[in-house]
Structure 1
Amino acid sequence: MPESLNRAIRWDTVVGALLIVLLLFSFTSVDGFGNALNLSFLIGNTLPVALVALPMTLLVVSGEIDLSVASTAGLSGAVMGALWNQGLTIEAIIPICLLLGVVCGLVNGLLVTRLGLPSLAVTIGTLAAYRGIAQIVLGSDAVTDFPTQYLDFAAGRIGDSFLPQAFLPFVVLLAIAFVVLHATPFGRSLFAIGASEEAARFAGIRVKRQKLILFTVTGLMASLTGVFWALHYASARYDNATGLELSVIASVLLGGIDFDGGKGTLGGAIAGVFLLGAAQNVMSLQDVSAQSQIVVTGVLLVVSVLGPRVARQISVARAGRRSAASTSTA
């Protein structure tokens, strides 16, 4: 099979094509989808998932996972609200929240890399712990009186366009993550670690340090997402971002990132993020219930794990047939 055709049927390419098809269908067949307000709403609601998906992609490529990102975001928002009630300025609060995210990610990373605990179990535990701390910090209060200029930045649009103002910083972060994963030795080492941690260690890659960096950056981005969430929705609550981890994992895996590590592209992951976000937006416009949307997300999560594996099995089978045919011809 020609190499160009192999690239064309890669899972991440399929997801990108599905996103285009969904957008074309939605613009032509779904009432209200194409107006600027709805498109801004779609992108703004998808940005929290996209922000966390950047480091999560790198983490899953390396063979690990962090299920505590939503709780870290919720804790960041709760601390933000509590400190605002104490009279601190927003300029002082945001760095504190980001530092808190670094600490949360560092705790996850140390438990995984120094104690050898599985990241799935560790982050399920910290998922509950960080959410519980958030509730202790803020209780059931909702803080809504943040400075107008910050609320406008998090929820406002660029001029008369449909693009949110927060989309431009995201593009910068996306570019940085893309270069790191696909154009640096650090990124290449993550693929090596995900493919075979033992082989990567023998090749001189400092596996534990790389993973610790990833968990720390993931915590940082989760806390940044918590700040953005509170400002975008003009409400800091301890239960902010509940369920975000499911959307992030579903999107990343849907984009072709192998759950076992070592395979995938950031472009595919982001295509998965916006495919899921667009599908949820269309379902909302069609008055599909929130419970049904959760079911769809779960189904997509299963498909995202199953699809690439089936595609690889088909590819291996085709390669075997080509090898057998060439041998018989010879």
Structure 2
Amino acid sequence: MTQPASPARPATSKTTPAGPRPRGFRPDVRTLSLVGVLAVLVLIGGITQPDSFLDTNNVQLILTQASVIGVVTVGMTFVIISGGIDLSVGAIVALASVWATTVATQDYGFAGILFTAVVVGVGCGLVNGLLIAYGGMVPFIATLAMLASGRGLALQITDGKTQTVSVDSVLKLGERDAYILGIPPLVLVFAGVTVVGWLVLNRTTFGRRSVAVGGNAEAARLAGIDVRRQRLYLYLLSGLCCGIAAFLLIVLAGSGQNTNGNLYELDAIAAAIIGGTLLTGGRGTITGSVLGVLIFTTITNIFALNNLQSDVQEIAKGAIIVAAVLVQRRTSTTTS
């Protein structure tokens, strides 16, 4: 009598399939592409103006100019990732810079100027956040209203005049004697904000919640995320970045003007877009946004060194933005 055959065991291999790799191990093609674009621009600048473009002073100038708008862009990136928009960043920078350079504020010295700039920025962000998160206003309308109000209040404070800074400790930060190992202090601040922003977005619950809210706000709410509070925090963060940028601009210009931060909102949004941040929310990188800022700043510098008209420069920027959006749409269609 024969024994019944035992069920065949599934064939096993000595090596188990690794399965899909985590997203963090995949090469970021967009980031590499942006680095390539930046390298091409550096090559163009070196060829067209070899003596001036590659000069140490010019490189320091590019990084310094990128620092102010770069800090704003970090905050803007968080807002766009969450599915929002902030059109008021330029006006907030202007308002914070003029409020921090009034005679009454300068009487409190370095700390008074820095504190005022940050508080005004955070205060404006708080108003935006409350209107959007708890007032139910569309981000476009709420921040557009802040843009108009901020510009108007800045004009009222200055009466259209330039407010000169007389605090030596603030002015010295913009001098070459304050450079650390050849790096301007403003660039170090920008680098610090970038690192903190990257860590917050990629290594904290706050960053994951921001991405979740931008990807699907209703799903995030059902998962237990307080969507309204998260949006409030994001606009507070944007306002904080504007306050820091206002202080950097005060150091760079040595004054406060109601025209400060003109078109910063467009530059910040454009830098974030070409850096890979989706306008619909749910995806974005701090690294890409910073590379976007450096690309735009380098383009501006190359045009200035070659005495090219500013209108051609703006056309070039517009073309880059359109190309970046088209690439986003094509990528989204391919992955969906």
Q: Give the alignment's TM-score, normalised by structure 2.
A: 0.87
**Matches of 1:29 and 1:3 in 2, distance apart?**
43
Q: Which residue of 1 aligns with 2:230?
A: 210
> Which of 218, 239, 259 is the matching residue for 1:239?
259
1:136 maps to which of 156, 169, 172? 156
- Once residues 26 and 36 of structure 2 are traced to their aligned partners in structure 1, the CA distance between those partners, rounded to angstroms, is 13
Q: 1:34 aligns with which of 38, 54, 57?
A: 54
For 1:132 and 1:227, how far apart are their aligned partners in 2?
Answer: 20
Tell whether the 8 Å contact from 1:16 to 1:268 is kept in structure 2 after alignment: no
What displacement does 1:89 show? 2.5
Range with greater deviation from structure 2 (242-251 or 142-151): 142-151
CA 1:275–1:148: 2 relative to 1, 3 Å: same
Q: 1:256 aligns with which of 260, 276, 288?
A: 276
The aligned counterpart of 2:39 is 20
| Distance in 1 (alpha carbons) for counterparts of 2:175 and 2:193 | 18
- Whether 1:149 and 2:172 are equivalent positions in the alignment is no
For 2:122, give the aligned amino acid.
V
State the 1:285 CA deviation.
Answer: 0.9
Distance 1:160 1:186 in 2: 33
Partners of 2:123 and 2:318 in 1: CA distance: 30
2:18 aligns with: none
Residues 253 and 304, structure 1, Cα contact 8 Å, conserved in 2: yes
Q: Deviations over 1:251-291 (max 9, x none)?
A: 01110100000012111111111111111111111112223
Is the CA contact (8 Å cut-off) linking 1:39 and 1:162 kept in structure 2? no
Gaps of 5+ in 2: 1-20
In the alignment, what sits opposite 2:130?
Answer: 110
Closer, same or farther: CA 52–312 of 1 in aligned 2, 3 Å: same
Give the Cα separation in 2 of the matches to 1:189 and 1:282.
Answer: 39
Percent of matched pairs sharing the same residue: 28
**Aligned match of 1:304:** 324
SS state at 2:164 partner: coil
**Cα distance, 1:224 vs. partner?**
1.8
Bigger radius of gyration: 2
Distance in 2 between residues matched to 1:76 and 1:172, nearest whole Å? 21
- Equivalent residues in 2 for 1:1-330 (5 A)? 7-8=26-27, 10-31=29-50, 32-84=52-104, 87-156=107-176, 159=179, 163-315=183-335
- Runs of 5+ consecutive residues of structure 1 not aligned to the other structure: 317-330
- In the TM superposition, residue 295 of structure 1 has moved relative to its aligned partner by 2.5
SS in 1 for 2:195: helix
Contact conserved, 2:110 with 2:169, CA < 8 A, in 1? no
1:21 alignment partner AA? V
Question: How many Å separate the matches in 2 of 1:263 and 1:155?
Answer: 39
Q: What is the rounded CA distance, in whole Å, between the counterparts of 1:258 and 1:222 in structure 2?
A: 21
Measure the CA separation in 2 of the matches of 1:157 and 1:291: 36
Contact 1:181–1:188 (CA under 8 A) maintained in structure 2 = yes
> For residues 158 and 83 of structure 1, do their structure 2 counterparts lie closer, same or farther at Cα, with a shift above 3 Å needed?
closer
Deviation at 1:293, TM superposition (A): 2.0
CA distance in 2, matches of 1:180, 1:290: 36
Cα deviation 1:226-247 (Å, max 9, x = unaligned):
1211220122111111111111
Residue pair 1:106, 1:215 contacting (<8 A) in 2 also: yes
The 3-state SS of whatever aligns with 2:315 is: helix
Evaluate the alpha carbon distance shift between residue 256 and residue 157 of structure 1 in structure 2; reply closer, same or farther with a 3 A threshold. farther
The AA in structure 2 aligned to 1:150 is: V
Deviation at 1:78, TM superposition (A): 1.0
**Contact (CA 8 Å) 1:256, 1:269: kept in 2 or not?**
yes
Q: TM-score, normalised by structure 1?
A: 0.88
